[in-house]
Amino acid sequence: MRRFEGYGVLVTGAGRGIGEATARRLAGEGGRVLVTDVDGDRAQKAAAGIRESGGEALALVCDVGDRASVEAAVAHAVREFGTLDVLVNNAYACHPDAALFEDESDEEWQRDLDITLTGAYRCARAALPHLAAAPDRRGAIVGIGSVNGEQDFGNHAYSAAKAGLASLTRTLAGHAAPRGVRVNLIAPGTVRTDAWAGREDLLAAAAAQYPLGRVGLPGDIAAAVAFLASRDAAWITGVTLPVDGGILVSRPRWGSALRGE
């Protein structure tokens, strides 16, 4: 299946984890993908891996916290591909909570919101005119939210930012629909990525709480992105799609498990 043949795609935070898996999936379906990451070496490695697998990918450093960097990335995608049809807002920041809420710092709070929420806003703002110009009303924005934006799983700033993404998805979907651009969000549960390195015990405890019996894999999220970005979802906009192994229906068990109760 090559649902993205001829598409130009930009994925943020694509040097590893969910972003890399998404870039690989969309390239595997024919998309020409710009792999962006604040870490240039990671972006280059991910893009090289896609090319080795037969896909088309370029790499570029992009800091979603900087407007000029974002606008340069969008311009680069349009220049190289001739079109920009899909934006995947995946980049995020998440700092550990302080033991007491009153000890949270302004700097950490602001960092999480600026990268996770405002970064997505910067990317959507820069990309929207090009997505609106995509042929056949195929322009799409897919954001990576979190179950943290739906219920309490900790991480105050990160969770607030992800909840903000859900709201931005709804309002931007209404604004962009007349221009032929769809805007949707995915809310993953726990996903096995490098962010969990060295914490296998917590992943095992988490997996036991999921109705489907495991934590997610980056490919699970990439598959959902591919659906929402494709014409298969041509009549879907403004939604938050949980891809969470059922955790949102079993949330009461989660907190007690991680407390060892």
List the catalytic residues: 158, 162
Q: Report the phi/psi class of residue 177: left, alpha or beta, with left for phi > 0 and alpha for psi in -120 to 50.
A: alpha
Report the SS3 class of residue 63.
coil
Q: Judge contact between 3 and 232, C-beta under 8 A.
A: yes
The beta-carbon contacts of 65-71 under 8 Å, at least 24 apart in sequence, are: 65/114, 65/115, 65/118, 65/119, 67/122, 67/126, 70/119, 70/122, 70/123, 70/126, 71/126
Instruction: Give CA–CA dist 152/25, Å, rounded.
Output: 30
Q: Is 162 exposed, middle or buried (0-12, 13-18, 19+ CB in 10 A)?
A: buried
Bridge-based pairing state of the strands 140-144 and 182-188: parallel
Q: Which of 247, 244, 242 lies closest to 209, judged by CA?
A: 247
DSSP 110: H
Instruction: Give CA–CA dist 109/138, Å, rounded.
Output: 36
